[in-house]
A and B are shown apart, each in its own frame.
Chain A
Amino acid sequence: MIDRRRFLATTAAAAGLAALPGCRALEHLGIPITVLRPGMEAGHALRGGAPLPTAQREIRTGVAILGSGIAGLSAAWRLAKEGHDDYLLVEGPEPFGNAAGGRFDSPSGPLAFPRGAHYLPLPSVESTPVRELLHELGVIEADPFGPRPRFSEAALVHAPDERLYFAGTWRDGLLPTAHVGTDEAAQHARFLAETARLTRATGADGRRAFCVPLALSSTDPAFRRLDGVTFRAWLAAEGYTSPSLHTYLDYVCRDEYGATPDKVSAWAGLHYFASRGGQAANAADGSLLTWPDGLAFLARGLAARVPAARQLAGHALAVAADRQGVSILCTTADGPARIRARRTICAMPLHVAARVIGNIRDYGFDPAAHLPPQAPWLVASLLLEGFPPEPADAPLAWDNVIAGSRGLGWVVSTHQLIRAARPAHTVFTAYRALADQTPQDARAWLATAPAEALFELAADELRSHYGPLEMWRRTRAVEITLRGHGMAVPACGSLANPGLAALRETDGRLLFAHSDLSGYSVFEEAAWWGDRAGRKVLG
């Protein structure tokens, strides 16, 4: 009877497939997975000490900006805005850095998604470059430098903004205070009251205790001493024992810093809460701004203000400064070139700068001692046909987090669209910081892991929440971005790191601009250092 069965199966399957338009179904048996490892090849060539090529041509410019992440773009934006046109932005191996975005060409049209950072909190009063940029891009509609600017509703995260899967069901918000016992709820309240107090606190120098940009935070030792203990140790010392609070803070630290509270300093752990003082005329405190492709919207906005002739595709291999200027050996589309610049803004991550600038120790930065630990990240975007089912009383939010999971949840790229019908396709972008092993081990695994294993890890939360079959039948394509050196981790001593302090103050032929200078990775810090380097050049 075997043959009869097989016959029945094939004919029935053929009838089923014929009912589908165009027999697309066969491709669905395997979901196409693309893996991107931005900067890895170029970075490993530098690390491996590959022989340097000989320059075939020379490019002269006033200011070379090396790197097109937010710091490099902000520096170029500042120069362009002030009418300085003798500069060249060398894109580097990772255009847009952690603010990169991607695009799927779905059957119902193109869909943008983030390949890295996906939101911006309401900028603090002190984040003047960010506010200036947002005003230029129409995201701030009025009063850009006042205490409460008015923000474009299109960019404010639309309701429902976030939900937490806790104790078997979805809840509003990410801290489940209303769903835990009274003792735990009291600890939540005490923690939030403490961070609210710290948000308003100022040090003996009159500066805010915790500020974005970090450079404007108080240097009062009363707060700085928090840089010497881990966040977990501080929580224990302060009597915070609530498991749900710890779960939440573990999530926050991995989401913000790529590391767990036992690795992150107490100063950094509290900074996340107490530095967010930004307010809006038309949104609640703590609101967020987002776009379908995350912060790539802002990166594109910056890049659009830099003339194409001032941008060069390629990356620096060696940088040397002398009394005459800076000499940069650099790859370009037309072969290796030597850029001779009067001044150079190194807007690359410090682990790359340490390889490219042979004498970086002369600037007060010893990579062996001063390079912050770096967290490996994995960002996976899934192009879905339709949406998986959701409970009627807890619809899909922009950010969806599973309490206690090792993943960091997923954001929905079509959330901000205004549409009469739900889009036929959407993109879920799932985040994961590989915070449970040493960064070295995680990077070694990421460098060689097969696409299927990476997908397995990246889609782990989605598959266990919605069911593997549901995800398989909806997923049309997957793109995974690996960031082995995703972000600097603000470990204990990060604030007092003398190497970072030295690079921040550098003001010679060579200038440094990168969020690494702050010891942690957020848009506002990168924009701050980029803007500052641009201003130093302008004098």
Chain B
Amino acid sequence: MSPTAQAPGRLPDRLLILSVFVVASCGLAYELIAGALSSYLLGDSVLQFSSIIGCYLFAMGVGSHLSKYVDDRDVLARFIDIELLVGLLGGLSATLLFLLFAWMSAPFRSALYALVFVLGVLVGMEIPLVMRVLNARQASFSELVSRVLTFDYLGALAVSLLFPLVLAPKLGLSRTGFLFGMANVAVALWTLWHYRAEIPGLRPRLLRGLLVMAFLAAGLAGSDKLTRWAEKGLFGDEVIFATTTPYQRLVVTRWKDDTRLYINGNLQFSSRDEHRYHEALVHPALQSMPWAQRALVLGGGDGLAVREILRHANIREVTLVDLDPAMTDLFSRNAELMALNAGALSDPRVKVINADAGQWLETSAEVFDLIIADFPDPSSFGLGKLYSVPIYRLMARHLAENGALVVQSTSPWFAPKSFWCIDATLRAAGFSTHPYHALVPSFGEWGFNLAMKRPGFVPPTRYSVPTRFLDADSTRLMFSFPPDMRPLPVEPNHLNTQALVHYFEEDWGKVIR
């Protein structure tokens, strides 16, 4: 009989019963973390949760089965070892999976299920081992089962409520993981200390336990930095905002005074030189149309083109049609980003519509003096349709007779066929076109096209609004193409052939090695 043995009939070890509560809480917590994390990263929560639960429960069954191979004399020592292992693995699980997902997405699912399985096996061994420890110390088996299961369920209940209400929203998944890992290790240390007389190899076990505890505590303290470091690994700069919307992943980074927006990992603008892009996009057209009152911006939810449009006092109304409410919300609420677009999206003259530009153009009957088409590059068949003859004909229906359409037209330097294909497409749609280009250092040489229903556009020689990039000389250079950027003979982009998408692939295939 051990020194701490209980007299028959008395309550079993409170310590071990308490550890049942903690162990049960941790067991459920890891399952919930894995389920929530995979739902968050992979989507479809029903599928993720059910497959994680299935895998976890099955693994627990395997663990329960394996527990019978533990020798009666080693039960306590094995229990402590398993607690340490569960604490380490479970505590690290969320962070490990996050990092894995950030760098390599291919083996993510395999790693996820392997981790869930191993954790399940270990957790499955815990309760049978605890019951065996207690059974050796207590006569009444029915009392024991009742006690253990009561606390087992109580622990599960506590976590199932705490996790969605407090832990996940307040601490986040990474830190919740570390916290529960530490709880497991605490149980191991406590049990170890309490039964120190019965356990061989006390010192190395104690040292191991303390080390794991310190490691997890460091993780808990540094997990924020770890996540940020993971995203920094992806983007190079510090991430000041990141969100995943139903349409895209938006990330805003900052390095010194350079704020950058990435959509799905592609740079949208750098605050250092975006004025070049947006001045070039807006002012040549608007300066030549002092009568313009109504402007339409398609895409461009960052409000930077709108900011330039609003500089013209004759503009009375700007309609911005951007697909993603998260994008326009971000740029009309975040103080730092509002400083960039000068609060353009909250200007009373601006109307923000969150709709698909293609669908909106089909259903709206409004007519504008200026239309800016600032769509993503035509890198897929779906996006290529936004640069096609029918959509330009549709835009023409929304354009006043003496109005202008300005189209973001990819790079005439890197993607010359694509650039001139957009020009040919606008002409096939009946426009008279005026292609131009500007150097935007973070993009390279970039291209635009100013299209009108009637010929006769003359590039401005002066600007009545303040500009940082445009003046008479820079404008003259913009509308002139040196010999190495001369027009190429290309087909217009018709929907049934989508020549532009093929050109774009071919062009960038030559640039990117």
**B-binding residues in A (CB < 8 A):** 1, 3-5, 7-9, 11-20, 25, 28, 152-154, 156-161, 282-284, 287, 395, 417-422, 424, 469, 473
Contacts and interface: CB of A to CB of B under 8 A. Distances in A.
Contacts of A420: 298-299, 323, 356-358, 375, 383, 386
B330 interface: no
Nearest to B64: A1
B53 A13 contact: yes
B132 to A, nearest CB: 13
Contacts, number: 139
A159 B497 contact: yes
Interface string B43-75: 011111110110011001100100000000000
B391 interface: yes
B46 A8 contact: no
Interface stretch (B151-159, B186-194, B276-284): B151-159
Contacts of B388: 153, 418
Interface string B394-411: 100000000000000000
A154 B56 CA distance: 51
A16 B496 contact: no
Interface in B353-404: 356-359, 362, 375, 380-383, 385-386, 388-391, 394
B495 interface: yes
B382 A4 contact: no
B164 A156 contact: no
B378 to A, nearest CB: 12
Contacts of A158: 381, 385, 495-496, 498
Interface residues of B, number: 61
A14 B382 CA distance: 38
B254 interface: no
B299 A8 contact: no
15 contacts: A4-B24, A5-B61, A7-B153, A11-B28, A12-B32, A15-B35, A17-B46, A19-B36, A152-B390, A153-B389, A282-B494, A418-B386, A419-B356, A419-B382, A420-B356
A473 B127 contact: no
B83 interface: no
A153 B496 contact: yes
A15 B32 contact: yes
A1 B128 contact: yes
Nearest to B498: A159
Contacts of B359: 417, 419
A9 B53 contact: yes
A419 B39 contact: no
B452 to A, nearest CB: 22
A159 B498 CA distance: 6
B39 A8 contact: no
Interface string B194-207: 00000000000000
Given A12-B28, A153-B495, A284-B496, 14 more contacts: A8-B31, A16-B46, A17-B46, A28-B46, A152-B390, A153-B388, A153-B390, A158-B498, A282-B494, A418-B385, A418-B390, A419-B356, A420-B298, A473-B47
Nearest to A17: B46
Contact of A421 (B31, B323, B501): B323
A73 to B, nearest CB: 26
A20 B46 contact: yes
A473 B501 CA distance: 31
A424 B356 CA distance: 11
Contacts of B358: 417-420
Contact of A395 (B157, B164, B380): B380
Nearest to B360: A420
Interface in B412-454: none
A3 B24 CA distance: 13
B77 to A, nearest CB: 22
List the 9 shortest-distance A-B pairs measured between CB atoms, nearest first. A16-B49, A11-B160, A159-B498, A156-B496, A418-B358, A419-B358, A158-B495, A418-B385, A153-B495
Nearest to B386: A420
Nearest to A287: B496
Contacts of B390: 152-154, 418
Contacts of A157: 496
Given A16-B45, A16-B46, A18-B164, A8 B494 contact: no
B246 interface: yes
Contacts of B498: 158-160
Given A13-B49, A13-B50, A5 B60 contact: yes
Contact of B156 (A8, A160, A282): A8
Interface in B149-177: 149, 152-153, 156-157, 160, 163-164
A354 to B, nearest CB: 42
B45 A4 contact: no
A367 B312 CA distance: 78
Interface string B23-34: 010011001100
Interface in B95-146: 124, 127-128
Given A16-B35, A419-B358, A159 B152 contact: no
B247 interface: yes
A159 B500 CA distance: 11
B284 to A, nearest CB: 25
Contacts of B160: 11-12, 14-15
Interface in B467-501: 494-498, 501
Contacts of A13: 49-50, 53
A159 B491 CA distance: 15
A158 to B, nearest CB: 4
Contact of A7 (B61, B156, B501): B156
A8 B496 contact: no
A123 to B, nearest CB: 16
Contacts of B381: 158-160, 395
A158 B495 CA distance: 5
Contacts of B356: 419-421
Contacts of B501: 159
Nearest to A24: B46
B39 to A, nearest CB: 7
Contacts of A25: 45-46
Contacts of B496: 153, 156-159, 161, 282-284, 287
A454 B298 CA distance: 45
Contacts of A395: 380-381
A4 B149 contact: yes
A219 B253 CA distance: 75
Nearest to A3: B149
A114 to B, nearest CB: 19
Nearest to A1: B64
A1 B45 CA distance: 26
Contacts of B127: 1, 4
B268 to A, nearest CB: 15
A156 B394 CA distance: 17
Contacts of A28: 46
A7 B359 CA distance: 48
Output the residue of A8, A20, A395 with the most chain B CB within 10 A.
Answer: A8
B495 A159 contact: yes
A468 to B, nearest CB: 13
A269 B111 CA distance: 53
Contacts of A9: 53, 57
B495 A19 contact: no
A454 B183 CA distance: 54
Contacts of B380: 395
Nearest to B248: A421
A444 B163 CA distance: 56
Contacts of B298: 420
Contact of A12 (B35, B157, B389, B394): B35
A18 B165 CA distance: 11
A12 B60 CA distance: 15
Given A8-B31, A158-B385, A16 B152 contact: no
Nearest to A386: B43
B246 A424 contact: yes
Contacts of A159: 381, 495-498, 501
Contacts of B128: 1
Contact of B157 (A5, A11, A17): A11
